A and B are shown apart, each in its own frame.
Chain A
Amino acid sequence: EIVMTQSPATLSVSPGERATLSCRASQSVSSNLAWYQQKPGQAPRLLIYGASTRATGIPARFSGSGSGTEFTLTISSLQSEDFAVYYCQQYNNWPPSWTFGQGTKVEIK
């Protein structure tokens, strides 16, 4: 199983500041990585797929980068609605055994 490790577990950021979230895979997943945002009591929302492609309707302040085993989600200027938990997900293996990271909570500083 490919293990996804996210860091930090919690990130305290002031509104308007940049947030940088990391995701590491236990083995290469190429660019087969997605990011999701989840707010309390809601389902996750797809932000990024293919490591760097924004999903439909996702603001440009969200960007993804990386390949292989190291990935980053950057939120360039945090808005109030961006405080949430963020998950990465790999989808490299076949037959599928897709796995998620444990999440990074972005909280207001």
Chain B
Amino acid sequence: QVQLQESGPGLVKPSQTLSLTCTVSGGSISSGGYYWSWIRQHPGKGLEWIGYIYYSGSTYYNPSLKSRVTISVDTSKNQFSLKLSSVTAADTAVYYCARGYGPTGAYFDYWGQGTLVTVSS
């Protein structure tokens, strides 16, 4: 059974960089075949796909966030990470990591429990 777990600071100051890590267990990122995504949910709102990474390191980002997002992978630790720079209060959200399934990793069959990140001074 694949499990994902987000970790990182729950509070980030405006203009700083949000950094989160997702640790995957029960399956190896480097085995390929899946794409590893970050998705966020603003309080009481819908879902927003942030971007994904493949085990090879190739990435795609949501165009609306592309200038501020970096996703990286550490296959030795079976982890992938999110960095979001220049954050504002609008980046306050629950951040989920998820496994993308299908030919382009476009639908998400395993999710982490989510972690709330608040942007505030």
Instruction: Give A contacts to B, CB under 8 Å.
Output: 1, 32, 34, 36, 42-46, 49, 55-56, 87, 89, 91, 94-103
Contacts and interface: CB of A to CB of B under 8 A. Distances in A.
10 contacts: A36-B108, A43-B113, A43-B114, A44-B96, A87-B46, A89-B107, A91-B106, A97-B63, A99-B49, A103-B46
B106 A32 contact: yes
A56 B114 CA distance: 22
B120 interface: no
Contacts of A100: 46-49
Interface of B: 45-49, 52, 60, 62-64, 96, 98, 101-102, 104, 106-109, 111-114
Contacts of A103: 46
B2 to A, nearest CB: 12
Contacts of A95: 60
Contacts of B106: 32, 34, 91, 96, 98
Given A89-B47, A97-B62, A55 B113 contact: no
Contacts of B102: 49, 91
Given A49-B102, A91-B104, A98 B49 contact: yes
Contacts of B98: 43
A96 B107 contact: no
